[in-house]
Amino acid sequence: MKSITLAFHKPYLVLSQFTDRESRQTLGEFISIDGVYSAGRLDYRSEGLLILSSQEDILYHLTDPIFQHTKTYCAQVEGLVSSEAVGRLKGGPVIHDQEFLPVFVGEIDAPNVEPRPVRNYHPTSWLKIVLCEGKKHQVRRMTAAVGLPTLRLVRTAIGGYELGNLAPGRWQILKPDDIRRLFENLESRAIQAQKSSLISGSSYAKHR
């Protein structure tokens, strides 16, 4: 089988795995390609871009923390955003003695995402948050720590590859140029040579 990498728009209340003992919705209900594995996870209640691949080096470079790969999220939060809250988020808050790296964060207008009702909290705001680490429930924990509980969380980009107009529940195969964008914005300069090697490697170049 040829190497394959694909982008999937994970809907709300879908697990980032192919089976579940509790009969919840999984990736298997949307993706019928054998031999692909998820590069990291989105939690059950989160939505947006998920990358799956049959190629171990892609999975490794997207998930190992040493590469500090950027991930972009839009978070709808309860309450009005203050400059103090943004400053605390940017600096990387300490939560229960666990330190978080500094992030990019800014208030935005409601993004162009598929409408979905949330609990009737007013007012609400939207934040754009870019992480270069992936600790469990990180965005939700960080926004809650500054008094802005997350009501809805959508991952809109990984590296330089954006979710775009891909509809919830749909997937598309990535071409070499897509994979180049996927590996943009890597924070660790030590792996730039490896990144170039990956992109020009035969397993990427052969799949079109």
Please list the active-site residues: 43
Q: Which helix (H) or strand (E) holds 153?
A: strand 150-158
Q: Are 77 and 31 in contact (CB under 8 A)?
A: no
Q: Which residues contact 48 (CB under 8 A, 6 or more apart)?
A: 9, 10, 42, 73, 153, 154, 155, 156, 163
CA atoms within 13 A of residue 166's CA, in its CB half-sphere: 25
Burial of 4 (0-12, 13-18, 19+ CB in 10 A): middle
CA 31 to each of CA 26, 104, 124, 135: distance values in angstroms, whole numbers, following the listed order: 9, 32, 34, 26
Q: Rounded to whole angstroms, how far apart are CA atoms 182 and 180?
A: 5
What is the four-CA torsion angle of 43, 49, 53, 55, rounded to 10 degrees? -100
